[in-house]
Amino acid sequence: MATLMEDRIDDRDWSRATTDASDSSRGIGSMQSLRALPLPVRWTVVGATAGVLFGCVLGLVVGLVVHWQTAWFAVFELGVPASILGGLLGLTCGAIAWAIQQAVRKGRHA
């Protein structure tokens, strides 16, 4: 039984195998998927991501300084509000950028 399985594995042509991680033209984590989003949503995603990263690092540092045994809770305590604030800030900036983009396009075609 084991030799039959080993034969099947050895028969595959591994030179043609590709993984989704090596193909950066599509997927959830790629820039192409962000470019497909509308401008305010794209800025919201970027702002929320930056906010949560900053908040989690800051929460970890504050938590380790204050009380090391509850530092993991400080990560959430500061990371979640920072992601919400970053998302709202990103949405606001994205909406302003979208409005400017629309005004420039209308001015160009007027």
Higher-pLDDT residue of 13, 50: 50
Q: What is the pLDDT of residues 73-109, one digit of tens each?
A: 999 999 999 999 999 999 999 999 999 999 998 887 7
Nearest to 74 by CA among 60, 84, 85, 86: 60
Which residue do the tokens 């989704």 mark? 20
pTM: 0.65
| DSSP category for residue 12 | S
Q: What is the pLDDT of residues 47-78, one digit of tens each?
A: 999 999 999 999 999 999 999 999 999 999 99
- The string of DSSP codes covering 20-39 is TTT-TTSSTTSHHHHHTS-H
Identity of the amino acid at 95:
A
